[in-house]
Structure 1
């Protein structure tokens, strides 16, 4: 279909930009905003927005989101090699492979959600709740660190204050009406629980 033809151009460009700009963001943007760069939740949101803003069909959207997240990983580490002299082997070491594996899962789920949030149907509100829910899930993980001597309480609270409003803002922006926004925010609550469990399983804590 004609609407799918640009995927071969958009996805590689998006993956390079996501990976390289993510590294630059982490390196040069101060905390707490800089923490967004080292977040699998943010990468999941990127997959959602990629398919939400495109006009791809569901299968193409899912495939495009997966490829984007997987290719973004070596792009990230390649930027690290160029900018701060990291070893090229970091592009395919165990950590990189773990991120790629997580990218397959996140690309499948959030790529599909982006298409469904745009195309409508009964799942539109639930799909629109997904980016907010995954950010709320990460915020929940942050709050559970309060009292842990391995983490600074002030940093944890500051980062949470960034994540929660960002999740609300995204939910509002990707929904088409205030009733849909309210429903999406309501649905984000149980989805946050699911997201928390899945983020915990990834090992990125």
Structure 2
């Protein structure tokens, strides 16, 4: 199936604005514990995966589109924050925003490609299906590590449960057979360890 590159570009930019807007609104108005999904780096990675999965094009186009999606979502989030709760607009171009955009580039490439691989065959399909679940498992492990830590408000048990459950559900929904689900779940565990280490190296610990 051929996908027009202009449609991919427009979809990535509009999707990025929508992701940033919805993320802030979700955090602001959805009650605990589900509101914390808005603070989830894994959820943004899953958004990049969904973009790559829906594009149904080559991995390069999917990766570039997913990168654009996540990079645009960062200033979109802060612009909405400035509009709704009068946050300082200068945050849009602050160093912290640029850092989040950098993480968006990395996540966009990895998970945009994973979305394409999830429609492939062989080991690529297994890894592609496993990756979005793995990043949610990694975040669940990170959240579990914070339980009891006063710097994080003592941690959130329900946040751990929700992230892990979403990881399983995502794999079950994307994989189309019981065998593929089993393979993806098995692959997701070591990938989650890699993701957990990546979170720690990036300073999310």
Within-5 A mapping of 1:17-166: 17-153=18-154, 155-166=155-166
Cα distance between partner residues in 1 of 2:52 and 2:110: 11
- Whether the 8 Å contact between 1:40 and 1:204 is mirrored in structure 2 is no
Cα distance between partner residues in 2 of 1:92 and 1:40: 20
- Structure 1: 5+ residue stretches without partners: none
Partner of 1:202: 202
SS state at 2:32 partner: coil
Cα distance between partner residues in 1 of 2:187 and 2:9: 34
- Whether the 8 Å contact between 1:12 and 1:68 is mirrored in structure 2 is yes
Q: Deviations over 1:90-137 (max 9, x none)?
A: 111121111101000000100110011023343101110001100000
The number of residue pairs the alignment matches comes to 204
TM-score for both structures, normalised by structure 2: 0.95
Cα distance between partner residues in 1 of 2:2 and 2:137: 36
Partner of 1:191: 191
- Whether the 8 Å contact between 1:4 and 1:57 is mirrored in structure 2 is no
TM-score for both structures, normalised by structure 1: 0.95
- Structure 2: 5+ residue stretches without partners: none
- Whether the 8 Å contact between 2:133 and 2:167 is mirrored in structure 1 is yes
- Whether the 8 Å contact between 2:130 and 2:187 is mirrored in structure 1 is yes
